[in-house]
Structure 1
Amino acid sequence: MPTSDAEGKDWSLERFRYHLPNTVTDVGPGEGTYAKLFRPVHEGVWWTAVEIHKPYVRKYGLKSTKTRTMYDEIHVEDVRESAAHLFHRDLVILGDVAEHMPREDAVALLERIVEAGAWNILVSVPIVESVQGEVDGNPHEAHLHQWDPDDMDGVLAGLGGKAETFRGSTLGCWWWTRT
């Protein structure tokens, strides 16, 4: 869904405050959960969104306006086909995104993000069985992979760097940092 469970958000906010990134790419922002949460903490951050479902841009007011800024730049496309420069950021967020693609695609995407030069990656996925199909006419909302937290630990460990983990009752969050 274009929304996210509140679990792990305080944990993620603590890491954001610690790292204070100046450039962020938010993959699959949906209603803009992370921009709403993080923007007030650190002004002057350049926020890029990569959203696959064009109707969400208007529905959730993701575009910048004179009176309200959520994202400075929006790319409506499948992130698996995005240009590498969109990942050369201080932080790339995959908030409830990796479950919407086959596991091998999610792993390849994480590898591309690291290769492109991301300094930090925030990943959030359901860690309990979370069957979901199309939502509001958006076929990209279907869950194609059920992540096990140990599996995500292993994937991120394989990227080098170091990862901190939050395991809640429904969501797992990982903050990966290049070392």
Structure 2
Amino acid sequence: MPTSIAEGKDWSLERFKRHQPNTVTDVGPGEGTYAKLFRPAHKGIWWTAIEIHKPYVAKYKLKSTKTRAMYDEIHVEDARDADNHLFHRDLVIFGDVLEHMPREDAVALLQRAEAAGAWHILVSLPIVEAPQGEVDGNPYEEHVHHWDADDMDSVLAQLGGRTEAMRGDTLGVWWWSRRG
């Protein structure tokens, strides 16, 4: 769904405040959960969105609001096809998005973000069986792979760096940092 449950958001916000990134790419922002949550905590950030489903840009007003754009730059495309420079950011967010693709694609995308120079990577995804099909005419909302928290621990460990994790009742959240 283009929304996310509250579990792990406070934990993520604490890490965001600690690291204070100046450039962020939000992969699959949906309704803009992380931009709404993080923007007030640190001003002057350049926010990039990679959204695969074009109708969400208008529906959730990702491009502009009466006061300010939620995102400074929006790319309507599949993140798996996006230019590498979009992942060369202080923070790349994969918030409730990696379960919507085959595991191999998700792992390759995380590896691309690290190789492109991401300093931090935030991952949030269901760690319980959470079947989901198309939502509101968006076929990309289907849950394609069920992640196990230990599997994501292993994938992020292979990137090197340092990883902090929070395992909730429904979601697992990871903050990977290039700096140890």
Category of TM-score, reference length = shorter chain? over 0.9
The alignment status of 1:125 with 2:128, answered yes or no, reads: no
Q: Any idea what the Cα deviations from partners look like across 1:30-61, whole Å, max 9, x if unmatched?
A: 00000000000000000000000000000000
Matched residue count? 179
1:134 corresponding residue in structure 2:
134
Paired-residue identity, %: 77
2:78 corresponding residue in structure 1:
78
1:18 corresponding residue in structure 2:
18
Opposite residue 124 of structure 1, the aligned amino acid is S
1:101 corresponding residue in structure 2:
101
1:58 corresponding residue in structure 2:
58
TM-score (norm. length: structure 1): 0.99
CA-atom RMSD in angstroms: 0.7
Residues in 2 aligned to 1:32 and 1:111: alpha-carbon distance in whole angstroms: 24
Opposite residue 90 of structure 1, the aligned amino acid is D
TM-score (norm. length: structure 2): 0.98
Opposite residue 104 of structure 1, the aligned amino acid is E
Q: CA deviation at 1:64?
A: 3.1
Residues in 2 aligned to 1:18 and 1:27: alpha-carbon distance in whole angstroms: 21
1:165 corresponding residue in structure 2:
165
Q: CA deviation at 1:12?
A: 0.1
Opposite residue 132 of structure 1, the aligned amino acid is Q
SS of residue matched to 1:155: helix
Q: CA deviation at 1:66?
A: 5.9
1:67 corresponding residue in structure 2:
67
Q: Any idea what the Cα deviations from partners look like across 1:92-119, whole Å, max 9, x if unmatched?
A: 0000000000000000000000000000
The alignment status of 1:146 with 2:146, answered yes or no, reads: yes
2:156 corresponding residue in structure 1:
156
SS of residue matched to 1:69: coil
Q: Any idea what the Cα deviations from partners look like across 1:120-170, whole Å, max 9, x if unmatched?
A: 000000000000000000000000000000000000000000100000000
Residues in 2 aligned to 1:162 and 1:86: alpha-carbon distance in whole angstroms: 22
1:29 corresponding residue in structure 2:
29
Q: CA deviation at 1:65?
A: 4.8
Q: Which segment drifts farther, 114-123 or 62-71?
A: 62-71
